[in-house]
Amino acid sequence: MKGDFRLSRRRTTVAGVDIPAGATLMVLNGAANRDPRHFEDPGEFRVDRDDAREHLAFGRGVHSCPGGSLARMETRVSIERLLDRTTEISVAESHHGPPGARRYRYMPTYILRGLTQLHLEWAPARTPPGDR
Ligand code: HEM
């Protein structure tokens, strides 16, 4: 999730910024996850980061996402199934351009960061999952 909104119930200060009572704030979880002061090379996808569990994609505190465990499980199963059946997965240059100059389109929303389309190329796995 890119971000969400909050209504301040009382006057407060966040990171040196005065927030009046009744203000609508946008909390940018996505930006926090890419904060180089917290995460080393935050733009890189590294599943084995020591601090991977400190991300805020599911929020934190009383309103943290109750669907987080389901979403994590669905993601794990989807990626495992994909890797079981494919090898050499790459982004299709014909649709998204060459490495270093990729072009993607995102859904026009402040809340989610979702691609409208992702074109991939892959080779089938050498041994289909049923034959192992
Ligand atoms: C990758 C998938 C998902 C992401 C990144 C995500 C992320 C989030 C985030 C950031 C929040 C807001 C936390 C806050 O306000 O501080 C949230 C709230 C919520 N999510 Fe998710 N979510 C995901 C999937 C799901 C699923 C699968 C379900 C239900 C099956 C779900 C149900 C909810 C509900 C009910 C809330 C509101 C919680 C509250 O306000 O107390 N989410 N989610």
Tens-digit pLDDT profile for residues 5-50:
999 999 999 999 999 999 999 989 899 999 999 999 999 989 899 9
Cβ–ligand 1 contact at 132 (below 6 Å):
no
pLDDT, greater one: 37 or 63: 37
Q: What is the pLDDT of residue 116?
A: 97
How far does residue 126's CA lie from ligand 1's centre (Å)?
Answer: 38
Contact assessment for residue 62 and residue 93, using Cβ atoms and an 8 Å cutoff: no
- Average of per-residue pLDDT across 80-105: 96
Cβ–ligand 1 contact at 111 (below 6 Å):
no
Q: What is the pLDDT of residue 127?
A: 78
- Which segments of the chain does DSSP mark as H helices, in order? 29-33, 68-85, 93-96
- For ligand 1, what atom is nearest to the CA of residue 60? 16
What is the rounded average pLDDT for all residues in the chain? Answer: 93
Residue having the nearest C-alpha atom to atom 25 of ligand 1:
67
How many other C-beta atoms can be found within 10 angstroms of the C-beta atom of residue 33? 16
Rounded to 5, what percent of the chain is helix, strand, coil? Answer: 25, 20, 55
Residue having the nearest C-alpha atom to atom 9 of ligand 1:
58
At 114, the pLDDT band (50, 70, 90 cuts) reads very high
